[in-house]
Structure 1
């Protein structure tokens, strides 16, 4: 089963990190990749730009699409990075995700990925 691991941090705290703190975060992610190298469990992942570099598009069934600057939700913690995992169990995905929670990444969501975009399909 595939899982999306969404990592959240405070962008202001990220910007204020020392070079040593940034190096520590980099080492932790590098170690995770090294430990899982060859397992096929990490499929993809990346860090994301700061929220102020984000555009949010909204639409309604009968109206035009509007664009605003900034993330969807104004909050202290913002989505900052992600991994796509392929794991045998939800527990395994959570165990991998646990390794990225630290002084910088303060919350992590682990969400199953459905090929059908999470929508029900009628067989008719």
Structure 2
């Protein structure tokens, strides 16, 4: 049975928080496109590597709302990190054939960037 976009988004967030990168990779199409304030990536392995890097400072993801239709989902959450105050974040995903094919993330990265020095 194929997961819905909302189920895939939930699995993505849960896998990232639990640092289960094998599971997270299984949710992504090989040629997933990721665009966010800290990276632009065009394949699943680099996407997972970027999320692994962020997980070093990730404390928790506090989901506020999730809106989904047949092919996409937006998750609104507070990104809690050890580096900065919580960052309100919008994460949009497109789903095709049961896999995440596109991810667009919007948040203010200034606190994280300032902590990097």
TM-score (norm 1): 0.28
Q: Which has the larger radius of gyration?
A: 1
TM-score (norm 2): 0.29
Query: Is the strand fraction higher in 1 or 2?
Result: 2
Query: Is the helix fraction higher in 1 or 2?
Result: 2
